[in-house]
Chains A and B, each alone.
Chain A
Amino acid sequence: MSRFGHPGLLIGGTLTLLIAAMALLSLVWTPYPPDAIRIAARLQPPTWAHWLGTDHFGRDMLSMIMVGARNSISVGAVAVGLGMAVGVPLGLAAATLGGWTDEAVGRLTDLTFAFPAILSAILITALLGPGAVNAIVAIGILNIAVFARVTRAAALHVMARPFVRAAAALGRGPLSVTLVHVLPNVAGALVVQATISFAVAILAEAGLSYLGLGIQPPAPSWGKMLNEAQTFMAPRPTLAIFPGAAIALAVLGLNLLGDGLRDLLDPRIGKVSAKR
């Protein structure tokens, strides 16, 4: 594999860039306002005026998918950011301090993984109420456990290497060793995990929105569009095809990118990253 010859990395990177570009473009331009209701133009097939057709309210599907990309990426980015901000220090503390800290972090992550992810997210949104912010909190909490576990495993692997032991023998304190020697060396594993967790977060947000627990109308979301499409997909199948394809392409792109980055950065870190 050459750096520019990894097909998965190329396809994944291109798909991810395209989705991100579509989301960015939606900040300044969409073909129509995504919430513009035109009953006279409802349930139209793809035409030159509406490239992906219109929904049961006559809203332009392409515009909704573009803004949906922005919403999905925002939820995914904040949820993964929350997971990293809390999970990485927890994982580093568990690996560095060991003992009761390690035991406590281990039990907490075990407990989080004992419940199916979507079940935990549904429980949290049931308690806090549906909405984008609560969906972020629900997905973010699961990511905390994922990042704590991945960071701990990667840090323990790095800490066994001679240069870290040498730094400790030279009198550097545990905090200094962790920040200067361990953290930079686990960054690769964390980048890979962040990419994969981003894909999982997009899937989870779509699932929650499909169930009516995620992003709330009138803000467009891919999951909610699929839910609404179920009622009208017999006369207009494209309503159910395009939003689902957007989710699948975004997740496929991020997964391929994650796999490619893992191969590129260090094949060994694949052993400590977790996909689900």
Chain B
Amino acid sequence: MIGFLARRLLGLGLTLWLASLVVFVVLEVLPGDPALLMLGVDARPDTLAALRAQMGLDQPVPVRYLGWIGGLLSGDMGISHTYAVPVADLVRDRLAVTAPLAGLAILLSTAVALPLGVLAASRRGRVADYGVMAFSQLGVAIPNFWFGILLVLWLSIGLGWFEAGGFPGWSEGLGPALKSLILPAVTLGLTEAAILARITRAAVLDTLGEDYVRTARAKGLGAGAVMRRHVLRNALIPITTIVGLQFAFLLGGAIVVENVFFLPGLGRLLFQAISQRDLIVVKDVVMVLAALVVAVNLIVDILYAAIDPRPKGMA
């Protein structure tokens, strides 16, 4: 297990390092003069010089890269050009919205998709199965930002059950804050639920055809017990993997969904930073998002090893 973890950590560290290289080259090297890109050609020379000094652009590229990585690792992400506050503070405040949003979306999508997938598999070729597959096709085809707009039209403007957007902050209490995240989480979770329902159906169907399931039935075990003890446990392996893989797409979706609901999360911060050409914030936020994806993939790998009922040598 320790060797497995060490290998995974090494691989994920390598991915993060490559990602940092790409982000740095795209945002600091390719534009030529990042300060000019941020301020525009009409900027005053003294303002331009001050920003160049703040970004350390007079130093060689490798020194700047190492300085940036060192800052990221020590929690010093520099000062935002637009907000004039430490980027680390911005990221911490915005993460307090995006992380619960992503968590809630995964929770909701899994809670909907698992029963639907199992239902479709156990009623294969019948109305329930076709219904779940139709939901899956529609869920993948509907753009999440449109689904969010429809929910606002129906539940906010039409019925007045939810605010159309915005976030009151955690200081206003758990209830109001969570309520403002429900519609965005449902919006974000739709595509994930659609994909997960299809994967669950396929995984359960695959497992139902296995010899050990037939043996369990032959022993006289009831259908419910076979499903719980043998089918679901084995089907959870591919399902867990997909949930982990979907996390990267979920974060990508959060960029759009946070804009639909005007949520002050990491995605909206990134989008605003790009619009305002605040490259200091952009490159830090992208790395935080990449690190989140990598961390979740590691957790999924560990869960995968824990769930897999096969002897460790065979897995």
A contacts, CB < 8 Å to B:
107, 110-111, 113-119, 122-124, 126-127, 199, 203, 206-207, 210-212, 223, 226, 229-230, 233-234, 237, 240-241, 243-244, 247-249, 251-252, 255-256, 275-276
Contact = CB atoms under 8 A, between A and B. Distances in A.
Contact of A247 (B15, B23, B146, B259): B146
B53 to A, nearest CB: 23
B145 A111 contact: no
Contacts of A251: 140-143
Contact of B146 (A211, A226, A275): A226
B61 interface: no
Nearest to A229: B149
Contact of B153 (A127, A203, A233, A247): A233
Nearest to B11: A110
Of the listed residues B26, B256, B293, the one surrounded by the most CB atoms of chain A closer than 10 A to its CB is B256
A124 to B, nearest CB: 8
Contact of A240 (B18, B153, B249): B153
A113 B252 CA distance: 12
A127 B27 contact: yes
B262 to A, nearest CB: 10
Contacts of B141: 199, 248-249, 251-252, 255
B249 A116 contact: yes
A139 B277 CA distance: 21
Contact of A206 (B26, B137, B143, B260): B143
A124 B23 CA distance: 11
A7 to B, nearest CB: 10
A113 B143 CA distance: 20
A211 B143 CA distance: 13
A252 B137 contact: yes
A118 B256 CA distance: 9
B15 A116 contact: no
Interface residues of B, number: 43
Considering the complex of A and B, which 3 residue pairs feature the smallest CB-CB distances, nearest first?
A116-B252, A244-B146, A252-B141
Interface string B20-57: 00110011001100000000000000000000000000
Nearest to B37: A127
A210 B256 contact: yes
Interface in B188-218: 195
Nearest to B259: A211
B252 A118 contact: yes
B255 A118 contact: yes
Contacts of B27: 123, 127
Interface stretch (B63-71, B93-101, B282-290, B300-308): B282-290
Contacts of B270: 119, 122
Interface string B233-257: 0000000000000001101110110
Given A233-B149, A237-B153, A115 B290 contact: yes
Given A116-B293, A207-B145, A255-B140, A241 B157 contact: no
Nearest to B248: A116
B153 A116 contact: no
Contacts of A123: 23, 26-27, 274, 282, 286
29 contacts: A107-B18, A113-B248, A114-B15, A114-B290, A114-B294, A116-B293, A117-B252, A119-B252, A119-B286, A122-B255, A123-B23, A123-B27, A124-B26, A126-B282, A127-B26, A207-B143, A210-B256, A210-B259, A211-B256, A211-B271, A223-B143, A229-B149, A233-B157, A240-B150, A248-B138, A248-B141, A248-B143, A248-B146, A275-B140
Given A119-B255, A126-B282, A211-B271, A248 B142 contact: yes
Nearest to A246: B146
